[in-house]
Every structure is written in structure tokens, then in C-alpha cells.
Amino acid sequence: MAKITLKDLSHSYLTKQSNDADWALRGVDIDWKDGGAYALLGPSGCGKTTLLNIISGLLKPTKGKILFDDKDITALNPVERDIAQIFQFPVIYDTMTVYDNLAFPLKNRGLSKTEIDTKVKEIGEMLELTSTLNNKAAGLTADGKQKISLGRGLVRSDVNVIMFDEPLTVIDPHLKWVLRSKLKELHQKINRTMIYVTHDQIEALTFADEVVVMHEGQIVQTGTPVELFEKPKHTFVGHFIGSPGMNILPCEIVNGQINFEGKILPNSTNIIKTNFSKTQVGIRPEFINFSNEGIEVKIKRVSDTGRHKVIDTECSSGSIKILANASAEIPSDSAYITFDQKYTYVYGDDWIIE
């Protein structure tokens, strides 16, 4: 197990770079504690796999350093780094039994038969593979095979870190949550540093103690699921996390206050710097209330999700989504709304102004 530090990592697949878009990763700084559960979250193309491949040693970064327990390992090859990596699609030996698949990484490391047997049975039990240990892997379903892949990564105790690259892609939706909670439970049991890469916010938020949100090759925020939800530091985090995502609308800063729709919004920030090319107000649908006064909106549509109602409204600055209890009375035509001051944020050029 190891503490992992990434220092000012940048990577470009091009030989020459002239602008930000030429970089797949830009200025990534990370400190991951030994034994922590982390997720890298972001949409397709944001640089997650590039970062994972740099940590595993498959890619050499254009700039920056990787340290395991404060030791610079940037020049080491993948084998020397002692990492277990689990990919999107199962990597197993079909002709071997489930037992032999799990035992394989341990045999390679010269563990005794008894040690191997103990470990294989322990991991087999954790992943509920005990009854299939003597079956050929070929006969298993896709999720059974992926469980073996997970087991092959988890069975080794000599690894610095276990990395999962979208490991639940091939799993049936109804089984996803089973494996997701299993992984969380396994992390608590074996207490190794784990990095989980995904574009799925639910997977990231349920697995990790700390989530790193990536956007266009940059880290836009690192935080606990609650921090990312309650205080997005970048408009992208607001959009990407939450369902529906945060409402982000143009506003003006007048004398240090937020002017939205011709009204001053209550806000706890003292806004000093104002030379942004764009300023926006951000409020999550959960933190908007109907009121007798405030911002006037037109009700466009009400969708009932069972537990909640999602109300699509419109004002002259754009559309605003509101989340209300399923039992709430919703005005039918126009209404006034207010924003909860505690969760009203202002963004200058997409970054939170604090």
C-alpha cells in the first residue's frame, strides 16, 4: 500500500502544444492517503484514462512527477510499480477454473500453496464465488467473469494501489449496485489504496471517500460527495453532479452584490474582484422555494418522479429547474421563487467567488 502524490502532472499526445486544448492533462496535483478510497470522475475525453495510465506507468507524462510514499517513481516501468489494474472488460483465462484464475497472480509471486489457498478462498467468499471456484471460467456470465477480474486485483496484498477503470460497464444494471456496495465493503475490509475511474456520478459518490472531478484535462474540484453537492467550486461540478444539475444563470455584480433579474440576491460572499468576462449565479434545484415574492417565473412543465416533482420554469435570464416534494402544491401558471441564501453561489469565469 502506498500514499500517492502527483505533482504538477501534464500530458500531451502531441509533440508541440500551442493552446490548452492540445493537453490531455493540465497541472494535476493530487495527494492520496495510504489506504483511501478515491474516484476520478468526469465525462468521456476529460483525461481519466490518461491519468490512470500515467499512474500505472503505461504512459510517461510530458511534465511532472509521480511519488509513492514520497519516493519518485516517474521513471519506473509498470511491473516495478506493483499496481493491480482492473479494466472495463474482464481479463481472465477462460480455460482455467475460477480458483486457478484467482491463484494465478499469487503463484507468479511464489507464494506457498497454503498461503494461496487461504487467500483465494477468502477473496472467493468476499465476492460470492465460493460455489463456482472449481468451475471453468468460460461458463460464467459477464458479471461472473468481471468478479474474477476484480478478485485477481484484490487477491494480492503486495500492491501499492488497486486501480479500477470503469469496472462495472459490462455488468447488468440491477447487479451494478450489488457489486458497487461489495467493492466498498471490500475496501473497508482490506484497507488498500483504491482508485476508481468512472463517468458515472452514482458509482463515484457511493464508492469513494473523496472524489476528484475532472473536466477538459484539469481537476476542477476534489471533495467528499457532500462537499461536491453542497458547494460546487466550478460550474462544471454544479452541472455534472446532481440530478437535475445546478441551475447556472447569467448575473451581474453591482457594488459587490449579485444582481439577478433586476433584484439583489441575498448572498454571504463579499465580492471584491469584478473583472470577469462572465459572471453567473448558481443554485441547485433542491434549494429553491416558491414564495409570495422574489423572482417571477413561468411554470413550463411538472414531471413527477414518484419521490419528487421536477418543475421546469422560465424567467428572462433562462430556464430554472426546481425540485419539490411529490406532495407539494405547484402553481399552475406563473409563480415567485426565492433562493436559499446558504446555497446561492456566484461564479466568475466558471470558478466560485468566495
Binding site for ligand ATP (CB under 6 A): 13, 24, 42, 44-50, 199
Alpha carbon distance 261, 246 (integer Å): 18
Give 240 or 345: the residue with its C-beta nearer to ligand ATP: 240
CB of 12 to ligand ATP, least distance (A): 9
- The label of the residue with cell 482455467 reads 96
CB of 165 to ligand ATP, least distance (A): 8
Give 24 or 220: the residue with its C-beta nearer to ligand ATP: 24
Residues 229/232/238/241 CA torsion (nearest 10 deg): -40
- The label of the residue with cell 510499480 reads 81
CB of 87 to ligand ATP, least distance (A): 11
Give 50 or 313: the residue with its C-beta nearer to ligand ATP: 50
* Amino acid type, 48: K
3-state secondary structure of 27: strand
Phi, psi of 217 (to 5 degrees): 80, 0
Give 202 or 326: the residue with its C-beta nearer to ligand ATP: 202
* Amino acid type, 251: C
Alpha carbon distance 6, 66 (integer Å): 5
CB of 149 to ligand ATP, least distance (A): 18
Give 28 or 186: the residue with its C-beta nearer to ligand ATP: 28
3-state secondary structure of 342: helix
CB of 26 to ligand ATP, least distance (A): 11
Alpha carbon distance 104, 116 (integer Å): 9
Give 49 or 149: the residue with its C-beta nearer to ligand ATP: 49
CB of 216 to ligand ATP, least distance (A): 9
Which neighbouring-strand residues pair with 222? Answer: 212
